[in-house]
Structure 1
Amino acid sequence: MPHKSLPAPSWPISFRATCLRATFYILLVAGIAQGVFYESLYLSDARFSERGFTELAQTALLATAAGLLLYSHLVIRTLPYISLLMFGFLFASLIREQDALLDTYLFDGAWQLLVSLTVLPILFVVIRKRQRFLAEFAAYANSFSFGLFAAGFLTTYVFSRLYGRGDFWQAILQENYVRDFKSAAEEVVELFGYAVLLIAVIELVLLARRWALARQNG
């Protein structure tokens, strides 16, 4: 059962609000696709590198999602432990995306240390408050946001890795195989997955705000 401080899992969304959000999400995904197209046409020197559009967009999406989750955890506080755990996961992914920069400007393996310093304290807090976390999860699992987050996770951390295998692209392209094809395929699918995760986080913040208002109103 949901935690007593959370409303029942029924939260009507107006058709107008749904259309507005759908329009924004369509524009977000279309803009990302157009950015990748622009990178492929005009940024040959930085194409799918750390300085290219795709990598920078991945960082921007993760940073935005992590910032929204931190806002939800610290300010809205309707789903504090769900928000905290998701923040730890996405912030760790953000650190991982900067591995080359961290290895260059700090030391080799810096990203592993920073991820550990981020994830372990958060896991400790969530495990310590596991009853509250499970109550929040019981309510959150019925939401649109959770479905989107699961889809983004599968796209980014499962499908993109399998789709970007070198053996897979060598089998398709055979003697025409170039590593750039494999890199582009994996990075673009990963970018789309991050976009879906950001949309899931936006939906979580909107859901948390609706629940907070419902709790205030009685």
Structure 2
Amino acid sequence: MSTDIRFILKGLGQFLLLALLVTLPVATLSYDLIYLKHGIGETSLTEYFQELILFLTALSFGYVTYKETSTRHFCTLVTGFFSCMFIRELDGLFDLVFHGFWIVPALLVAISAIAYASRDIKQTIYTFAHFTQNRNFFSLCLGMALLLVFSRLFGMGHFWQGILGPDYDRVIKRVVEEGLEVLAYVVIFYSAIGYLQGFLAWRKYRLVDENYAQFIGKRDQFFIDRLTKK
């Protein structure tokens, strides 16, 4: 099989994976609201799915952290960030200790990750800089923007009141909010999968004595040199 055909099939595979992933928010919401008819609570399939997606995202970056020392400081920071998001999603469980207790383990994880990343700030900045040049960084930014900005703006109460009137059914607003949040988590997870795939491909074909930091540096320098020559 020619290289061109392999690239095309790989691209189609990426599309099919993303197409499958974006059906899951609809499937989980439909199961909770139509089949179970118990709404979207802390014990709903939708919430469990969000937690699973965040856990797998943190695990993906955690695997790179564990396997590669040359990018470990930055990847620890990313793993810590998504671990904190995962802990936040488990707030209902941590509330069994006391309300808002989730912030305690989240702070411990955040402080530990920042402290470790700060031990080699040069490596952290270097890896972060090249991480932004990775093609999966765009989908990560898209997912974070959907989660932190779009879903919040789209879920504002006065926005829905303006459309449906002051007596609108709050269930509609909740479904839209949760659907957008799950979609954002799916996009973030897709980005994490892509980054992990790139790392695993490098491990399979890497040169002798080459570390991942050297590889991404040489890869990006190639394009910088080409742009400089123009």
Taking structure 1 as the reference length, the TM-score comes to 0.85
| Structure 1: runs of 5 or more not aligned | 1-12
Q: 2:185 — aligned with what?
A: 194
Q: Decide whether the 8 Å contact of 1:79 with 1:208 is kept in 2.
A: no
Instruction: Map residues 103-142 of structure 1 onto 2, 5 A cutoff.
Output: 103=95, 105-142=96-133
The counterpart of 2:175, out of the listed 146, 160, 184, is 184
Cα distance in 1 for residues equivalent to 2:43 and 2:10: 36
Q: Decide whether the 8 Å contact of 1:81 with 1:132 is kept in 2.
A: yes
Q: Decide whether the 8 Å contact of 2:76 with 2:116 is kept in 1.
A: no
Note closer, same or farther for the CA distance 1:183–1:16 as it changes in structure 2 (3 Å cut): same
The counterpart of 1:95, out of the listed 84, 87, 94, is 87
> More deviation in 196-205 or 119-128?
119-128
Cα distance in 2 for residues equivalent to 1:175 and 1:162: 18
Identity %: 26
What per-residue deviation string (whole Å, max 9, x for no partner) do you get for residues 132-178 of structure 1?
11211222211121111111110111111111112211221114412
User: Which amino acid in the other structure matches residue 22 of structure 2?
Assistant: V
Q: Decide whether the 8 Å contact of 2:29 with 2:175 is kept in 1.
A: no
Secondary structure of 2:198's aligned partner: helix
Q: 2:62 — aligned with what?
A: 70
Note closer, same or farther for the CA distance 1:173–1:157 as it changes in structure 2 (3 Å cut): same
Taking structure 2 as the reference length, the TM-score comes to 0.81
> More deviation in 69-78 or 129-138?
69-78
Q: Decide whether the 8 Å contact of 1:160 with 1:186 is kept in 2.
A: yes
Q: Decide whether the 8 Å contact of 1:73 with 1:79 is kept in 2.
A: yes
The number of residue pairs the alignment matches comes to 204
Q: 1:39 — aligned with what?
A: 32
Cα distance in 1 for residues equivalent to 2:35 and 2:139: 32
User: Computing the radius of gyration over CA atoms, which structure comes out larger, 1 or 2?
Assistant: 2
Cα distance in 1 for residues equivalent to 2:153 and 2:13: 34
Aligned alpha-carbon RMSD (Å): 1.9
Cα distance in 2 for residues equivalent to 1:139 and 1:213: 20
Quote how far apart the aligned CAs of 1:29 are.
1.3
2:148 counterpart of 1:146: no
Cα distance in 1 for residues equivalent to 2:201 and 2:167: 53
> More deviation in 117-126 or 31-40?
31-40
What per-residue deviation string (whole Å, max 9, x for no partner) do you get for residues 188-213 of structure 1?
10100000110111011112223334
Q: Decide whether the 8 Å contact of 2:40 with 2:47 is kept in 1.
A: yes
Cα distance in 2 for residues equivalent to 1:78 and 1:161: 37
| Structure 2: runs of 5 or more not aligned | 1-5, 211-230
Q: Decide whether the 8 Å contact of 2:74 with 2:123 is kept in 1.
A: no
Note closer, same or farther for the CA distance 1:80–1:17 as it changes in structure 2 (3 Å cut): farther
Quote how far apart the aligned CAs of 1:214 are.
4.7
